[in-house]
Structures are given as C-alpha cells and as structure tokens.
Structure 1
Amino acid sequence: MNFSAAISPNETTFTNAMADFAGPPQTGTDGRVIRMTWMWKTATTLRFDPATDVLDFGWFGAMNFTVAQVNGSVVIAIPANKQTYTLAGVALGDLTMANIRANEAGARARWQAALAGVRPGRCRHAA
C-alpha cells in the first residue's frame, strides 16, 4: 500500500513537519535568527555574526541551559539533552541582549547575568 497517496493536500509528511519544527539551518549568516532546538547528543558549531544574528530560545527555561565562554567561544549547553551549541570565535563580550530572544523571563535573566560585567570584545568571527 502506498501510504503517501493517502495523505490529503492539507496534511504534511513527517519529514516536512520535522523540517518546519527544526526551523532555519543552524548557521548564522546575513542576519539569521537561529532557533535553539532539542537535538539529543549533538555538538553544533555555529557561524554566528554578533553584529546581525540572533539566537532564539523560544520557551527554553533558564534551568534548561547554561552559558559559558570556553577557549574564546561562547558555549551554550543543554545538559539534560547532552547537547551544545558553540558560537565559534564569538566571545561573551561580543554579544548583547539584542542577540537574544527568549519568551521565558528566567532565560532572559540568565543571559543578562552572563553578559553583565563582561567587557565588550572585538568580534573575532569568521567573515
């Protein structure tokens, strides 16, 4: 039986639904909004331009992630998911709250705390 023929025009395939859920590709170029998503056991390195790009945390709560600078790059860890995002060559001092979207107040507060007291840096990202 051909199951794809049973899908009506108003329905979507699982693959298309997952592509919609996952959001844009996980690279930041030309002012991209990069959605933080749950991806079990992944270590994603992002090309991120702090002058134009934005990280969108959606409804991630503050308890779901940590923020640190490791070897000159921002590392966002999602410990319960064994997952990390690394902003290659981007220091905490390169970021401002303009680079962060978060629906949950605690997540915004976590970023504000991470960025408080860091000296503004010179962006070292790859052009």
Structure 2
Amino acid sequence: MLKEFKEFITGGNVIEFAVAVIMAGAIGLVVTGFVNFIVMPFVGHFTGGMDFKDMKYVLDAATLDAAGKVVSPENAIMYGEWINTIINLLIVGFVMFLIVKAYNKVKKKADEAPAGPTQEELLSQIRDLLAKK
C-alpha cells in the first residue's frame, strides 16, 4: 500500500494538479487585487463615490456603553462585499475561459499536424525500393 501511495503521489497527475491549485490561488489573489484596487474604485467613481465594500444592511446596530466601548458589535448583511465577490467570480471565470480557449486552440493545431507514415507504409516503401534494385 505504501508503494502504491508513493507511485500515486509522485505521478504526473498529482504534481500537475498541485501546480494547478497553486496557480489558481495566485490568479485568485491577482484578480481580487484587480477588482478591489482598480475595478471597484473606477465603478465607485461613476456611481458618485460609492464604495461597494461599505454597502450593508444593518440588522442590529452596535451597542456602546457609557465610555463608548462596544458592548455588542453590529450585525449586518454585507451585500457590498458579496457584489465584489461576484465580480471576482466573473473575472476569474473569464480568465479561465480565455486560458482554456487558448489551450484548446493549441491542442487542436497539434492534433491536426500531419502524422508521419505508418509502419506498414514505411515497410511498403522499403519493399518497393528493394524491388527496384
């Protein structure tokens, strides 16, 4: 069983999967940064300076004591953060679509490349050349 596990873990598919997971995490961070630091300020500019991150529906306001210290925190539905998450999803989905589309295009070209002659064709050519001599 240990030998099978070693073969599995060192196999190409597991390594490729691990690289894919790491790359997906990195792409996710890049897209999150792109959305939070570039797209949303741009959208906020055209919506009158609104920051989607701050959009929320307060269910229970925070309660403070006499000294101004928070006794119970605010309970709110943060739908602005959810909007940012949806935008992240759409951008990541679009980037993945472009990557898969490019991969399929390259793969299709590789599949269409003319294959060399089969063994039978090579043997027939050799036979014909030998027959001519």
Regarding TM over 0.5, the answer is no
TM interval, short-chain normalised: under 0.3
TM-score (norm 1): 0.22
Between structures 1 and 2, the one with greater helix share:
2
Between structures 1 and 2, the one with greater strand share:
1
CA radius of gyration, larger in: 2
TM-score (norm 2): 0.22
Higher relative contact order, chain-length normalized (CA < 8 Å, sep 6+) = 1
